[in-house]
Structure 1
Amino acid sequence: MTDTTDAPASGSNAQALDERLKRLNAVERDKVAVNLRPKDAATLLILDRVAGGELRVLMGRRHMRHKFFPGAYVFPGGRVDRGDSFVPVAEDYHPDVLAKVSHAMKGPKTTSRARAFAVAAIRETYEEAGVFVGTKGAAADPRLGGEFAAFVERGVAPSLAPFRLVARAITPPKRPRRFDTRFFAVFADAIAETLPEGTGPSGELEDVAWVTFDEAKAKSQLPPITHTIMDELVARLARDPKLAPQTPVPFYQWVGNGFRRAEV
């Protein structure tokens, strides 16, 4: 694992990067707000390749009662809970993915804490979208309960093996909520089961649906960081269609007076 360095860019790549940074830097900030410490969070992009080879991704619209991006179209995800570090998994990350998730980790740098990011993404995807990501037919682990009780009932064990880190982003200072988010991707064959209701029990996401990247980008209430991550993933899939675990991933964070993109 190398240290984070500025990603080389030239020609059309440089222009694309410039557009992404301008989009992120254009977001208004409350410069008198308290500078909060970012909370750990995780997001999951589930990719489904339909007939003809076009990819779709699972998204939903945040309920209007939310204070953070109400009505925005997003991928399932949310804050990492303390209990996520103690959830047993059927399979672990690929070693290269574990190294990337652990890179520059705030707080205790333990494997269980690194796992908590993907576990949180699995938990939130079930709660918000009604989708179980894991291994079907696995023996129920007696330690797996609480928010994962529905997994036990269906014989589904959380599995981190298909997870690929595709980006990391930290909310800039002077925002009312700040997150240090790992963005993961899995292909749709990682889905073990789906609730028939078409949404999750939390009700936090509405209008959950599979959409193409172009359809997603056309939505008016798409957060700039969501748009940016999609651009990054589309570019990566063009050169790395299977999402190899060793492929470097972008890391966006605020440095000085604007966002900086690095690679991990």
Structure 2
Amino acid sequence: MTADKTAIRDAATVIVLRDRFTDPSILMGQRGAKAAFMPNKFVFPGGAVDASDAGIPLSTPLPDLCTDRLSQQSAPNLQTSLAVAAIRELWEETGLVLGQQGNWQGAIPADWQSFAAMGYLPSAEALQFVFRAVTPPGRPRRFDARFFLVDADAIQGDLDDFTHASDELSHLQWVKISQAREFDLPFITEVVLAEVAARAEDPNPPETVPFFLNNEEASLFLQLRGYPMPYAD
């Protein structure tokens, strides 16, 4: 059976913030010209949640507040999968490790063998849930993307070493926030960028998480707070 490419897929995106208190920059790369989703655009690392993400052990969990907010208007028990997807996509697309030193128990899934070979287990404690957006109708791919902010100090190893990255993103580079709008960015990336710029000097979690919900009826700009709301199918 062929997968429905128009269905909304859960996804995770990672915004790595470097030198946040002095001259902040974020890690971005360019999507390929033939990509079905946002071709040629400069984006943050990220991608869809895989079914196998639910079974990946985390050495440290997400912060409680992030876990709580991720549960709002979402399918049950999705929080760990989103965190795992964020760490996996960061590794695959940039070669950067968000993890803690440790040994895997049992068989290592194929997607994680190169990560594990570096001597690390995935760690979610440094991820901060800061934005959520659903792709508008009519696009060739639609995602319910959760954006995670992480301080570059939490990354293991050399921040300029992209030798382990796949070829999904090209021109990987640290872009100064003050210069990011000079690049060809998707609209939602510009919106998220404004949120990150406003929070660059504040390491604390945001009071609320913006949720840009696009559906067939309307485009809504909601706020996710600290208490779960029932899931609406």
Q: Same fold (TM over 0.5)?
A: yes
Task: State whether residues 132 and 194 of structure 1, in contact with CA within 8 Å, keep that contact through their aligned partners in structure 2.
Answer: no
Contact 2:137 2:216 in 1 (8 A): no
* Identity across the alignment (%): 33
Q: Which has the larger radius of gyration?
A: 1
CA distance in 1, matches of 2:39, 2:89: 17
Aligned mate of 2:180, from 194, 207, 216: 216
SS of residue in 2 equivalent to 1:132: coil
For residues 172 and 117 of structure 2, the distance between their equivalents in structure 1, rounded to whole angstroms, comes to 23
CA contact (8 A) 1:145 1:152 kept: no
CA distance in 2, matches of 1:200, 1:153: 12
Report which of the two has the higher share of helix: 1
- Aligned CA-pair RMSD: 2.2
CA distance in structure 2 between the partners assigned to 1:69 and 1:218 by the alignment: 17
Q: How far apart are the structure 2 equivalents of 1:72 and 1:115?
A: 28
**Is the 8 Å Cα contact of residues 35 and 173 (structure 1) preserved in structure 2?**
no
**TM-score relative to the length of structure 2:** 0.87
Q: Residues 33-52 of structure 1: matches in 2 within 5 Å?
A: 36-49=6-19
Partner of 2:211: 251
Check 1:130–1:173 CA distance in 2 against 1; reply closer, same or farther (3 A cut). Answer: same
| TM-score normalized with structure 1 length | 0.77
Q: What do residues 122-166 of structure 1 show as CA deviations (whole Å, max 9, x unaligned)?
A: 11111111111111x223333543211122211111001111001
Matches within 5 A, 1:166-177: 166-177=130-141
Unpaired runs of 5+ in structure 2?
225-233
Which residue, out of 50, 56, 78, partners 1:81?
50
Alignment of 1:69-218 (within 5 A): 69-106=38-75, 109-110=76-77, 113-135=78-100, 137-193=101-157, 198=162, 200-218=164-182
Give the 3 Å change call, closer, same or farther, for CA 250–207 of structure 1 in structure 2.
same
The alpha carbon displacement at 1:104 in A equals 0.8
Contact 2:24-2:200 at 8 Å conserved across structures: no
Deviation at 1:196, TM superposition (A): 7.5
